[in-house]
Each structure stands twice: as structure tokens, then as C-alpha cells.
Structure 1
Amino acid sequence: MFDVIIVGGGAAGFYAAIHIAEIDPTLKIAIFERGKNVLSKVKVSGGGRCNVTHGEFSPSELVLNYPRGKKELLGPFHVHGPGDVMDFFEQRGVPLKIEEDGRVFPVSDDSQSIIDCLVTEAQKLGVQVLKNSAVKQLSKLRDNGRWQVTTMNKHYQGKNLLVAAGSSLKAWRFLEDLGHTIIPPVPSLFTFNVRDPRLAEIQGVSTFASVQVPPKKIFSSKEGLNLKSAPREEPVLQAEGDVLVTHWGLSGPSILRLSAWGANILNEYQYNFKIKINWTPEYTLGSMEGFLREIKEVEARKTVIRTRAVNLPKRLWAKLVHAAGIQTNVRWAEVTKEMLQSLAKELTEGTYRVIGKSTFKEEFVTSGGIDLKEINFKTFGSKIHPNLYFAGEIINVDAITGGFNFQNAWTGAYIAAQAIGSKK
């Protein structure tokens, strides 16, 4: 018999257990982990460095990084935000650093520092960690109102239940059986698979760009569609930021932001769609044409390939020049009107076909989960069942990359812990 059962041995589960035990050391707390290792997602986060949180300390700015959960997390972030998380680890001997892009890492650049801290604290406080204990059934007993957790070999009972099982289909099914609404999960943080000669053999190139996903209906199945005659419609998705060319296509903050904000739309598209890239966001098609005409006059004797008109990586510039039909030895003076217009289009409105997605590094994030309307965000408790709480990705909250998904986990775990630990 436990006072608190926590399903999920990840960041949210350990953080909650530690805070509950600190509030009331007399409580008997158990973490149930299905695998042989705990905190596995912490281990791989940030390329093995663990992107603990983000150095954005204004809750109103912080919530802008959450495609789902923006409104609901504003209050909780006032209660427990990135500064509080940083204090937690630093007070326990794990110094942290804020990098230029705002991401927060341990000074050690090793996720094991975070894992060791959480495991040590939990042990010190007497939290029981049951590994290889996959939950087979979750139910509420009618006679005493307690929660019963069934593993392969045993039944366990607890007064309070905190589900912090991440994106677990099995956990979602259990909660659905208990009357909760589950928003169907779809991938939320992924890169784009693009096979295109303009991107071939230039992996590693990174530059600031604007990326759009146009409405699908403006693209015809006929290859000969003249896009100039197509209706001008607002893009369904748009983002600005660094775009990274990879072996399989495109990644970088701009692409990841599109994947997060467009999780449901791109799932509907079955990850087969077109994107428009403006490699020079300060220019439009028209203004770029005018600018290139000026370059043609000023740099008439120089070859186009060696004279970058805009500040782009050399390899990308060369690819776009060739895509515009301009050969290596062509000088600016020899550029025809058609070539110039084609180059302007490649620079500002290049269209690329996306033919699938890839997981971003080892990090797998989904949208979907428990409907936010069924959660009391002052306690992260269920509105349907008393003594049932949630934290982390189990709820329909997700964020762009940069430590924001972990922050959701820490915040929810802390607030749930306060509610559980303070009960008389």
C-alpha cells in the first residue's frame, strides 16, 4: 500500500516524487518504470547533453513556444518556471549554463549529471523505484476509492495516482477507460525528407530563411500549372529561422517550428506536401529581380557563380544559380531576362517537395494526449477523478525544441507534487 503511485520513471515522475517527499517525508512513494532504465529520455536529450530548460523567464513569452498548451500553462509558469528549475538543480550540486540561443545545459555537458542528481535525491528521500514494472491494468477500487496498479506479477494500491508516462498509447487507453478524452497523438517535432538536386551534396549548409507551406489546393496535379496564374492565398504555415541542409533533406529551428505548429495539418497531408523557401527573407520576388538587375550592371564582367549577390553560403548559392539555368562560366553581362527572373524565383520562392519525415535526433515528441479541458491546471489534477494527477507529455501539450518540453514536465510535476504532498 502506497500513499502515492507514480506511473513513469522519466523527468516528470522523478521530479514529482522528490518534491512530494520533501513536503511530507512520511509518505510512501513508488515510481513504476516499464523498462530496465529510468530517465531514458533525459539521457538522449540535447545530443546527450540534456537540454534541461530554456532561459526565457517571462511566462508570457515562454508560453509562445507551445503550439498546444499556450493558454493553460501561463498560470503554472508563474508558479514554477525555468528559474525555479535551474535553482533546483544548482542547489543540488549541478551547475547550469545558458547558451547563446537560450537553451540551458549542465556545465558538464553530460546528461548523466541530471540523471544522477534525480536518482540520488529520490534514493535519499526513500522513494521506491520499481524497474521492469510495466503497468498492465489501472483501475479505481469501488470499496475504498484507492487506485490499483497491476503489473505482470502483482497488484499495488495507492491513495494518489500520478500518471507521467509520456506519449504512452497504453497509458492513454487506461485513462480513456476511466472516462478521460484522449486527443489522438501525431508526431510534433520532426525534420523534412526532401530529395532535390538543389540540396544534394551540400549537407551541413545552414542559413536564415523563411519557409512556408502553401495551401495544397493551389498546386495542380498537372506539372504545367503556372503558379503566377494560381490564386494568391495565405500560407497555412510559416516560420523564419535557420534552415539546415541534411543528408535526408531539411532541418533546423525553422523546420522544427513548422513541424510543431503544423503537427495536425502535416499529419493530414500524410507528410507529402510542398514548401516554399525564401532564402533571402529581406527580399520579395519583385525586389530581388530589381536588385539582380543592378548587380548585372555593376558586376557585368564577373561570373555569376563567383559573385554572390546576397549573403548565402557559397555551396547553396552555386546550387541555386545552376537551378536557374545559369552555367558556371556565364558572366553577369550574359544573363538573360529569363535567367535573372529564374534566379530571383529560386532565391525567394523556391518550391521543394517534402516526401516524408524523420525524427529529430533521438528526441520523439508528439502532440495529443489528455484533453486539456479535463485538467485542473492549479493542481494538474483530473476534473473527473479525485486523487488522479498528470504531468509531462501524457497531456495534450507539446513545444518546439529548446528545452520547452522538459519545462512543461518540470512545471506539471511540481504543481501536482504540491497538491499531493500538502494533503492532510
Structure 2
Amino acid sequence: MTKKDVIIVGGGAAGFFAAINIAEQNPTLKVAILERGKEVLTKVKVSGGGRCNVTHAEFIPQELTQNYPRGEKELLGPFHQFMTGDTMEWFEKRGVTLKIEDDGRIFPITNSSQTIIDCFLNEAKKHNVEILMNQSVKSIKNKNGFYQIETPHDSFSSEKIVIATGSNPKIWGLLEHLGHTVSQPVPSLFTFNIKDKRINDIPGVVVQNVEINVLNTSLCSEGPLLITHWGMSAPAILKLSAFGALKFAACDYKFQIEINFIKKSFDDCLDILKNLKQDLAKKTVFKSTQFNLPKRLWHKLVLASNMDTETRWADLNKFQLETLSNQLTTAVFNVDGKSTFKEEFVTAGGINLKEVNFKTFESKLFNNLYFAGEVLNIDAITGGFNFQNAWTGAFIVAQNIVK
């Protein structure tokens, strides 16, 4: 049996961040990462479209926590200890220059996730962190204050263990066997499948700022909307998918959304349309796009309002004006199913947060058993927030193990 001072299960973002910080703060500790695959940091590689969205330019802990449908309350204290600014400083100190984009997302200036991977691999090597591949954990036992870990090839023993395996049902099963409870995982970041003649044939159309309400719930969001081959995506949708993850799973991803494409009230919109009826009397409605909407979407909404391509503004009756105003401000769409958002598969679910001490990220049930990242029932909207949870938890774990 191989003995180590600290064993980290999971060679992803949280696992590497914990390992490097432990080894750097106490070089005498023997630290090993056990990775089940033949490669490490695979999720880092594909995140942010291969650019790695390391964190988000949100520098007030209270405001940062609002991006976590699960974990908002628990992360407030930890974010006072290690925050977005600390993440940026950590990477900059190790030679990774970062940049903040207009939407607040933060990337390496190289626009390549490989920069982050290289940084981690170099730091791990520099601080003698052992990285062991193809070590799929089969069992975790707690015996006389030591953790015994079995993989197909080896047995390990360690006094301290960090679980950083992300959304891994097998590891959750082993932790349940130990005595922890796990909130059942459901997908958290996904796009909406919608078949509707108002949006078919116009994939790639982006509306910069919409308001969306999920009917018969209090769920709402605003932001950019992207029309896709299968329905709708982009931040306005992904935010709803995260905050509504449990509700949507319960109704089998069949529900209705109401979209305000122009962020004006029905009455205000109607007044504007009545003025346009006078001002543009001789022009066709179809060809005179309004409200800065993409032309292809305007065409679809006009045709859905009891008009054809030749209908002139002057000829619009009360019913047509009201129907167009409805389509622009309260358009209802039926959602029927979901699709994974890129490769960034995030789940709601994981270790019950009541069983974790968030001053240390240590298990309340077992001494020297720590958690970092998505193995916990914490998840965030898209934009670098899931990584920030990983960095914060891993850093606090490292501090407490070194103590």
C-alpha cells in the first residue's frame, strides 16, 4: 500500500488548484492526484469554447453569490476569503496574463485553455505533486484515522483526502456508502428545444436583450437570446436553465416561456405601432424592421400577426396592431426538451451542503475529508462562476490542510 500525506481524487480544475496550493505552502507534504482517465484537466480544455473562462469580473462577494442557484448562502463566507481578484492575482503571479471582456468574462490573454493547463502542469511539477493517471477509485474506506483508497492497479493510504471529482455518480455512490447524503443530480446548463414556425429557418439570429418569463413560475431572466437549429440558447436561456434546473427536471422539460423581444410594455409598443401606421403609411410592414430587431426575426413576427409580405402600415386594423404588439412583447413558446450546452455539462446535485463546514470545506461527518468544486451540490450560471467556486473551495481546503 502506497502512503501519501494528502491524496486528491480528481485531476480537474479543483483538484489541481488544491494540490498546487498545498504543495507550495508546505513542500514537505507528499501530495498525489489520482485521475481516473488517461488525461488530466479535460474539462478545462473545452471550457469557454476552448478559451477557458477562468472567472468573472464580479468583485463584491454578495453580488458574486447571486450567480449560484445552489450554494448562494454557503459561498458568501468563502468568497470573503478567496475571491475573483485573488484568482486573477494567483494566475498573474504565475505568468498567466488575463483579460476582462465586455460581458465580464475573464480569459487568458492567449485565448487558449492550454495556457491554464500548462500553468497547472508546470506548477505541479515545480512543487513535486505526483500525478497518477488511470486510477479510477473503486473504494474509499476510513480506518483508524486513515483513508484507504483502492484503484484497479493500486492501494493508497492517506490521513487527508480531497474529493474533487466534479459530477461523478460513481464517486457520489462511494461517498454515500461512507455515510454522506447526495442530492440527486439533474442537468443545470442546457438549451431549450422549441419547434415553432416563428423561429424555424432562422438559426444564428441573436436578439441582444430580451426578457423571458417561465409561465406559472417566478422564474425570469434577461439578456442576449440566440435562435438555434433546435430552439433557443445564449445567456438569457442558460440563466433560466440553471435557476430552474430542479423545476424543469420535475416537469420533464415541458413548459412554456413568454418572451418580450423589445423590453417594452404591450401598451407602449402598441402606441409606437400606431404612430408608425401614420408615419410609414405607404410602406410595407414586412420590409420596415423596427425596434433594432434582426430583420429575419421581424419578418417571422410580422407573418405571425395575420399579415403577408405586401401588407402596408396604412392598412393595418386594430386586431393586426394588437397581435403584432403581442408577438413583440408577450410571445409564448412551448419548450419540449433540452440539449446540452456545448461540452460544458454542469449538474445541479452533489454532496448535501449541510454536511460540509464552509469555513474549511471539510466534511462534518469525517475529519480530514475535504471537498472542492462540483462534487458539492453547488452550481452556477455560465460565465466563469463554476470555476470560481472550484478555485475558492480548493484554496480554502489547501490552507486548512497545511495548517
State TM-score, norm by structure 1: 0.93
1:94-113 aligned at under 5 Å gives the runs 94-113=96-115
Letter in 1 for 2:331: G
Q: What is the CA–CA distance in structure 1 between the aligned matches of 2:292 and 2:28, rounded to whole Å?
A: 63
Deviates more, 1:149-158 or 1:34-43: 149-158
Q: CA deviation at 1:338?
A: 1.5
1:166-205 aligned at under 5 Å gives the runs 166-205=166-205
Q: What is the CA–CA distance in structure 2 between the aligned matches of 1:118 and 1:390, rounded to whole Å?
A: 19
Letter in 2 for 1:367: A
Q: CA deviation at 1:308?
A: 2.4
Q: Is the 8 A contact 2:38 2:134 kept in 1?
A: yes
1:61-140 aligned at under 5 Å gives the runs 61-140=63-142
What's the counterpart of residue 259 of structure 1?
A: 241
Q: CA deviation at 1:65?
A: 0.7
Deviates more, 1:400-409 or 1:58-67: 58-67
Q: What is the CA–CA distance in structure 1 between the aligned matches of 2:75 and 2:4, rounded to whole Å?
A: 30
SS of equivalent to 2:380: coil
Q: CA deviation at 1:5?
A: 0.7
What's the counterpart of residue 8 of structure 1?
A: 10
Deviates more, 1:386-395 or 1:240-249: 240-249
Q: CA deviation at 1:87?
A: 1.1
SS of equivalent to 1:291: helix
1:151 aligns with 2:151: yes
Letter in 1 for 2:390: A
Letter in 2 for 1:357: K
Give CA-to-partner distance per residue, 1:104-138, whole Å, 9 cap, x none. 10011010000010011111111111101100111
Give CA-to-partner distance per residue, 1:225-255, whole Å, 9 cap, x none. xxxxxxxxxx431111111111111001100
1:228-377 aligned at under 5 Å gives the runs 235-281=217-263, 283-377=264-358
1:416 aligns with 2:397: yes
What's the counterpart of residue 213 of structure 2?
A: 212
Picking from 22, 27, 30, the partner of 2:29 is: 27
Give CA-to-partner distance per residue, 1:173-209, whole Å, 9 cap, x none. 1111111111111111111111111111211111111
Q: What is the CA–CA distance in structure 2 between the aligned matches of 1:171 and 1:82, rounded to whole Å?
A: 29
Give CA-to-partner distance per residue, 1:135-170, whole Å, 9 cap, x none. 0111111xx210011000221101101000000101
Give CA-to-partner distance per residue, 1:57-105, whole Å, 9 cap, x none. 1111111111111111111111111111111111111111111111110
Q: What is the CA–CA distance in structure 2 between the aligned matches of 1:361 and 1:83, rounded to whole Å?
A: 27
Q: Is the 8 A contact 2:214 2:258 kept in 1?
A: yes
1:27-46 aligned at under 5 Å gives the runs 27-46=29-48
SS of equivalent to 1:65: coil
Give CA-to-partner distance per residue, 1:15-60, whole Å, 9 cap, x none. 0001101111111111000000000000000000000111111111
Q: What is the CA–CA distance in structure 2 between the aligned matches of 1:36 and 1:296, rounded to whole Å?
A: 65
How many residue pairs get aligned? The number is 400
Q: What is the CA–CA distance in structure 2 between the aligned matches of 1:284 and 1:114, rounded to whole Å?
A: 45
Q: Is the 8 A contact 1:10 1:42 kept in 2?
A: yes
Q: Is the 8 A contact 1:295 1:309 kept in 2?
A: no
Q: What is the CA–CA distance in structure 2 between the aligned matches of 1:277 and 1:70, rounded to whole Å?
A: 27
Letter in 1 for 2:369: L
Q: What is the CA–CA distance in structure 2 between the aligned matches of 1:171 and 1:116, rounded to whole Å?
A: 27
Q: What is the CA–CA distance in structure 2 between the aligned matches of 1:338 and 1:324, rounded to whole Å?
A: 9
Letter in 2 for 1:73: L
Q: What is the CA–CA distance in structure 2 between the aligned matches of 1:108 and 1:201, rounded to whole Å?
A: 35
Letter in 2 for 1:274: Q
Unaligned runs of 5+ in 1: 216-234
What's the counterpart of residue 382 of structure 2?
A: 401
Q: What is the CA–CA distance in structure 1 between the aligned matches of 2:270 and 2:99, rounded to whole Å?
A: 45
Q: Please, what is the CA RMSD of the aligned residues?
A: 1.0
Deviates more, 1:285-294 or 1:385-394: 285-294
Q: What is the CA–CA distance in structure 2 between the aligned matches of 1:58 and 1:237, rounded to whole Å?
A: 24
Letter in 2 for 1:395: L
Q: What is the CA–CA distance in structure 2 between the aligned matches of 1:292 and 1:108, rounded to whole Å?
A: 47
SS of equivalent to 2:232: strand
Q: What is the CA–CA distance in structure 2 between the aligned matches of 1:289 and 1:240, rounded to whole Å?
A: 22
Q: What is the CA–CA distance in structure 1 between the aligned matches of 2:89 and 2:329, rounded to whole Å?
A: 45
Which structure 1 residue ranges, 4+ long, deviate > 3 Å from structure 2?
none
SS of equivalent to 1:293: helix
State TM-score, norm by structure 2: 0.98
SS of equivalent to 2:255: strand
SS of equivalent to 1:259: helix
Q: What is the CA–CA distance in structure 1 between the aligned matches of 2:314 and 2:251, rounded to whole Å?
A: 44
Q: What is the CA–CA distance in structure 2 between the aligned matches of 1:172 and 1:309, rounded to whole Å?
A: 52
What's the counterpart of residue 230 of structure 1?
A: none
Letter in 2 for 1:101: D
Q: What is the CA–CA distance in structure 1 between the aligned matches of 2:298 and 2:354, rounded to whole Å?
A: 49
**What fraction of aligned residue pairs are identical, expressed as a percent?**
56
Letter in 2 for 1:72: E
Q: Is the 8 A contact 2:135 2:153 kept in 1?
A: no
Q: CA deviation at 1:335?
A: 1.2
